[in-house]
Structure 1
Amino acid sequence: MLSIVSRRTMASFHADKFQIHCYMDYKQHHCVDEVYQFDSIEKFDFMDYNTMREHDTDYVLLLDEVNSIMWHSLNGMKTASKFRLEFIHKLAQIIDRAYCVIASDADIMAHTLNFIKEITQKPIVLYVNQFQQKLPQLVNIYESQNDFINEIEREMRTVHNLITLGKPVHRTFFCCSDRNGKFEQEIVEPLIKRFGSTHCLKYTCEEGDKLTLNDCNNLWIHKFVFTSPSIVYGIDCN
């Protein structure tokens, strides 16, 4: 198996769930049975693969969050900008030589399918999952950031007052953003200052003890939890 993802946190997740190596844990001899972030697929070594082919079957390729992977091939990030053509050429090679390719995402756009069609001759079968989860609660969509912040503050104040009065709290406040930077600066930090760091937990790629996630049902009681996608793999508006 060979897996390509768009984010490093997803690479660690794949390595754990599929019991394969993560490209970040090895300095050389990158090959199959490994997961790569798209920006690092140049590490995949076809020479090593050709050497082992006589003892191994062709690999199954998994492109997880394929829309994000395609976006990485077009964005202005430093690595992608410098080696864009090399990355796309290597991706085309990896796709063509795979026994089977599975590409998945919550939404797969037409331009993603068209791009894949342009770089490979493999037949494409599109499977549309019609499952729709009925959430037990309504989802509020805010057009104003101020309204959104005020709602968060009201919710936090309600829980904070219950904690202060020693009354039971039967819910945990959990807030996740699909971005870290401005959301943290404009929303998270001011709220933490307002309610105190004692009652707040923050998880980003730089902060937060990830080992506590194993016991979050207990450790998050009476806490306000803020996270970036370091512990959840993106936000799907569906």
Structure 2
Amino acid sequence: MLYKTKGIALSYIRYRESSIIVRVYTEAFGLQSYIVNGVRSAKNKTNRIALFQPLTLLDMVVYHRDDRDLHRLSEVKTPYPFQHIPFEVAKSSLALFVTELLSRTLKEEVGNPHLFRFLLTSIVYLEEATEQYENFHLAFLLQLASYLGFGPENAQEFEDQLRERSLPFLADDAMTDALNTFMSQPIGTPVRLTRAQRADLLDALVAYYRIHFDNLGDVKSLAVLREVLG
């Protein structure tokens, strides 16, 4: 049966000679996989594969059946072509990191409109921000944790969970204030952090996610993000 839904592209793999299987977080059905035929064919002149780059926002018409793990697309387009994320080093590095974390933490194959709206508004913020977005990934991870059901209530709870598992994290007053701001204020709220503080908090956040996702594994994009933003 055909359904309309919005989606966020996460990743794709090659499938047979000219097709791909794309992972999309959809508004209606949660995390889903779709076969897209012919996008890698030499005869394809429309560059449709660009629609499935990390975090691309999609309007989709899909064939969906609850008893299948792999579905097909009838129509797909982006209502919001990116002008900055794929072309600016800092933003593309943030997008790759966020995409990798989402690919490893989003599991539910059911719709979650509140989570989808959070992801959508966060991506639009990243695309449109012109300055002071160097803390985007920190605020994003803290707020995403709440939508996934394990977000700390405040900086003290965050520190306590790390300490209970012998994961050292010593937050000074500035770091505590930053944590509380990231948790309670909209993404993009200005917060002053040094490069070293940003790097320490990023490491602590990845460690925090590993507490709740045993199979998080090695986050490959982390090294690039540290180099670009700290």
TM-score after normalising by structure 1: 0.25
TM-score after normalising by structure 2: 0.25
Larger C-alpha radius of gyration, 1 or 2?
1
